[in-house]
Amino acid sequence: MRLLHLAALLGAVAVGATLWAWGQPLISTSGQVRLWVNSVWSNENSQQIADWYTLSHVIHGVLIAAAGRLAGRWLRFALAYAIAIATGVAWEIAEHTDWVLDRFRGQTIYQGYIGDSVLNAVSDYLFMLAGFAAGAWLGAARGLILVLGLESLSALFARDSLILTTIRVVHPIPALTAWQDRTNPGTPPGAEVPRP
């Protein structure tokens, strides 16, 4: 288990070092460090410790733990933990490739997205591990209830969530796009929202 904890720590270092080497800022270019950003339209989104998208990382961890629990004897805790570490690191790095960034920028809500600060990416990875720990402790059924709760909370207050982001990036639905774009403070009521 100590080896896995060391791997988790090295995962955080790998995420931070890779993104920094790729030119991502260590912290927000505003120079501020904040615990929470409440608006998905804020320039500080994905730059601070946590925001509404942090919930999707928690969900990622819970889902891996739930899958490990459901797989039972075929997927031991240590293997599920290793999968959580590997997929957490892989996502934070893959998210900052040109291909993925361009997929996000192709959608109105993510236009201008420059990627995460190192602080935000490492925090998201750590929140994913916290989600894994919560999911392992809660068990599969209660973990899935937590996932539904976090998805609902994010969709209700931010009009975006892991499922909604996936739909919007993979196969946009015009009605969903219009509903999400109505939260943009820069869009006057009744105005046509620009489409990619």
Confidence band (pLDDT; 50, 70, 90) for 186?
low
Tokens describing residue 138: 């809660």
Sign for the CA dihedral angle at 181, 187, 35, 30 comes to: positive
| Confidence (pTM) | 0.86
pLDDT, tens digit, 9 for 90 and up, residues 125-175:
999 999 999 999 999 999 999 999 999 999 999 888 888 888 887 888 888
Q: What is the DSSP letter of 192?
A: P
Element holding 145 (H helix, E strand): helix 140-158
Cβ within 8 Å of residue 149, ≥6 positions away: none
Tokens describing residue 110: 């993510």
Q: Give CA 40 to chain center in angstroms.
A: 12
Q: At what angle do helices 174-181 and 162-170 cross, to 10 degrees?
A: 130
Q: Which pLDDT does position 107 carry in this prediction?
A: 65
Most confident of 8-22, 109-123, 165-179: 8-22
Q: Which pLDDT does position 54 carry in this prediction?
A: 96
Averaged pLDDT, 113-118: 88
Query: What are phi and psi for residue 185, nearest 5 degrees?
Result: -65, -15
